[in-house]
């Protein structure tokens, strides 16, 4: 996963929609899933942007072992995490994307939907 490739071409006011199952390598004992991991990488690499909004979630309401559907990334999320003393690198190493986004109150929790259509992502560069 390399979010900067996806968003570097987005112009203000444009949104990128994508679907399909994401895959991620788990390197630690944390909680999360591919969509949460995608958001964590996006936050880590692009969260200094003041015009970037994103979400990634699993339509069945369960992303990996997190019990969550996914997460959102809002402008200033990285600065908020740092101000709250959250170690982004540590969350990445431990594959604990659920822990980070829960601490930031940026999770998407739909509960079990019973419908597994696919993963869904939306990335908006605000105008």
Q: Are strands 52-58 and 119-125 parallel, antiparallel or unpaired?
A: antiparallel
Tens-place pLDDT, residues 15-42: 999 999 888 877 888 999 999 999 999 9
The mean pLDDT of 71-89, rounded to a whole number, is 94
Place of tokens 């869904």: 120
pTM exceeding 0.85? yes
* Structural domains of the chain, ranges and CATH numbers in brackets: 3-8+24-125 (3.40.1480.10)
Find tokens 């709250």 and name the residue: 84
Kind plus residue range of the DSSP H or E element containing 54: strand 52-58
pLDDT at 47: 58
pLDDT exceeds 80 at position 6: no
Report, as an integer, the average pLDDT of 50-73: 93
Is 60 exceeded by the pLDDT of residue 114?
yes
């Amino acid at each position: 996963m390399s979010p900067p490739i996806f968003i570097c071409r987005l112009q203000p006011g444009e949104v990128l929609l994508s679907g399909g199952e994401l895959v991620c390598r788990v390197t630690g004992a944390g909680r999360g899933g591919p969509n949460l991991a995608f958001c964590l990488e996006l936050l880590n690499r692009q969260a200094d942007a003041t015009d970037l909004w994103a979400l990634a979630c699993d339509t069945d309401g369960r992303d990996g072992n997190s019990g969550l559907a996914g997460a959102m990334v809002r402008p200033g999320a990285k600065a908020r995490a740092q101000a709250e003393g959250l170690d982004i690198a540590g969350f990445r190493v431990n594959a604990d994307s659920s822990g980070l986004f829960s601490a930031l109150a940026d999770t998407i929790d739909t509960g079990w939907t019973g419908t597994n259509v696919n993963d869904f992502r939306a990335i908006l560069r605000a105008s």
